[in-house]
């Protein structure tokens, strides 16, 4: 469990980078970023705080 603190921002950075490569400003519109966020359980399956 290396990513306990700062997990969200690390994932966000990855998603942002992928979205940038696709030339999209919003990572939510990038399919690559979507899959990255999905892998980490970004929207679905994530813990609700």
* Alpha carbons 30 and 17: distance in angstroms, whole number: 10
pLDDT of residue 22: 65
* Alpha carbons 8 and 15: distance in angstroms, whole number: 10
pLDDT of residue 32: 65
pLDDT of residue 10: 74
For 1-49, write each residue's pLDDT tens digit: 454 555 667 777 777 777 677 666 665 556 666 666 666 554 554 444 4
């Amino acid at each position: 469990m290396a990513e306990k603190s700062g997990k969200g921002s690390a994932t966000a950075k990855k998603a942002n980078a992928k979205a940038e490569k696709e030339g999209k400003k919003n990572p939510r519109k990038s399919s690559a970023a979507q899959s990255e966020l999905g892998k980490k359980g970004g929207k679905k399956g994530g813990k609700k705080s």
